[in-house]
């Protein structure tokens, strides 16, 4: 049986397509279109952030300086590492290497969990400092002294953006981890071969997108106006 015949008889092959390759190309375009809608979704938040940051710059800078840069930078690297293992997972699926596909996917999921854990430590610190808008707002002492010069209300607005953007990003990451778990379960049933791995590629693209959002969130939230 030739490659083309094998692809035409694959049980995942949908009859409206010419072959599995065209089917996979269609799947990939589909996820790219979805990612564009995600760009627009986050774009609204980024646009709002840009406007308020330019209007209330000193308040935003003061709020930003409360955040822990070290934890933010470590988290960026954790997420970049998870993108590497995700890219290697897709490669393992492409080459039909199930033995390394499952561990690589598992590491990707664990790194996503590490990111969320560090994020949780940071959120906890915000409750200790009482800089959580609506739920626990009322900075005192040293924190208050840092925030007051930029305008307390403006700093509160900054933290509102901080929590909204990072929480929505974390939600995307949780969805990504569920999808990776689903891939692991399917890979265990040996459902991916070198000529059928579209689900791995599609989830991979989504995972990298979530990484790109964080690539922008890190400098925009943690590094406003420099930290010198």
Partner 1 sequence: MSMPIVAKKTYILVFAGLICLTILTTGVAFIDLGPFNTVAALIIAFLKMLLVLLFFMGLKYSSALMRTVLIAGFFWLALLINLTLSDYRSRSWTPTPESWSATSPATHP
CB 63 within 8 A of CB 155: yes
Pick from 4, 9, 18, 43 the residue near partner 1 by CB under 8 A. 43
Which one of 70-78, 104-112, 118-126, 171-179 is the stretch in contact with partner 1 (CB under 8 A)?
70-78
Pick from 51, 121, 145, 167 the residue near partner 1 by CB under 8 A. 51
87 near partner 1, rule: CB under 8 A: yes
Strands (E), the chain: 131-132, 136-137
Structure tokens at 22: 């065209």
Torsion sign (Cα): 89, 92, 93, 99: negative
Question: Within a 10 A sphere around the Cβ of 77, how many other Cβ atoms?
Answer: 11
Which one of 24-32, 131-139, 162-170, 175-183 is the stretch in contact with partner 1 (CB under 8 A)?
24-32
Biggest alpha carbon distance in the chain? 76
- Tell me how far, at minimum, the Cβ of 142 lies from partner 1, in Å: 20
Burial of 145 (0-12, 13-18, 19+ CB in 10 A): exposed
Interacting residues with partner 1 (CB under 8 A): 21, 24-25, 28-29, 32-33, 35-36, 39-40, 43-44, 46-47, 50-51, 54-55, 69, 73, 76-77, 80-81, 83-84, 86-88, 90-91, 94-95, 194-195, 201, 204-205, 208-209, 211-212, 215-216, 218-220, 222-228
């Amino acid at each position: 049986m030739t490659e083309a015949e094998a692809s035409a008889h694959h049980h995942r092959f949908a009859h409206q397509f010419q072959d599995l390759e065209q089917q996979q190309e269609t799947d990939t375009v589909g996820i790219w279109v979805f990612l564009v809608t995600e760009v627009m979704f986050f774009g609204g938040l980024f646009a709002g952030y840009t406007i308020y940051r330019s209007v209330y710059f000193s308040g935003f800078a003061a709020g930003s300086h409360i955040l822990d840069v070290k934890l933010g930078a470590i988290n960026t690297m954790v997420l970049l590492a998870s993108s590497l293992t995700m890219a290697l997972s897709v490669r393992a699926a492409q080459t039909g290497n199930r033995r390394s596909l499952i561990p690589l996917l598992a590491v990707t999921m664990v790194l996503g969990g590490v990111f969320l854990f560090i994020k949780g430590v940071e959120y906890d610190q915000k409750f200790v400092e009482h800089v959580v808008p609506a739920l626990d707002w009322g900075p005192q002492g040293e924190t208050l002294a840092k925030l007051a010069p930029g305008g307390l209300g403006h700093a509160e607005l900054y933290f509102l953006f901080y929590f909204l953007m990072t929480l929505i990003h974390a939600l995307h990451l949780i969805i990504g981890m569920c999808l990776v778990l689903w891939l692991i379960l399917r890979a265990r049933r040996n459902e991916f071969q070198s000529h059928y791995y579209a689900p791995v590629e599609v989830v991979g693209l989504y995972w990298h997108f979530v990484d790109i959002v964080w690539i922008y969130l890190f400098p925009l939230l943690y590094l406003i106006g420099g930290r010198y």
